[in-house]
Amino acid sequence: MCILPDHEILSLRESGILRIDDFFDGSLTSNGYDLRISEVSIPTEGGFVKEGMASILPMTRFFVSTIEYVGLPEDICAQLWLRTSWIRRGIIAGLGKVDAGFEGTLTFSGFNLSESVVDIPIGERFVQMVFERLCSRPEFPYEKRSGNYQGQRGITLKPLKRADE
By DSSP bridging, strand 53-56 and strand 91-94 are unpaired
Fill in the DSSP letter of residue 142. H
Torsion sign (Cα): 20, 95, 142, 150: negative
- Residue 144 DSSP SS3: helix
CA distance 6 to 35: 15
Query: With contact defined as beta carbons under 8 Å apart, do 23 and 69 qualify?
Result: no
- Pick the residue with more confidence: 46 or 95? 95
Confidence at residue 162, expressed as pLDDT on a 0 to 100 scale: 54
Torsion sign (Cα): 131, 96, 38, 126: negative
pLDDT over 80 (residue 164): no
- Residue 139 DSSP SS3: coil
Query: With contact defined as beta carbons under 8 Å apart, do 93 and 82 qualify?
Result: yes
pTM of the entire predicted model: 0.91
Domains of the chain, start order: 2-135 (2.70.40.10)
What is the pLDDT averaged over residues 99-104? 95
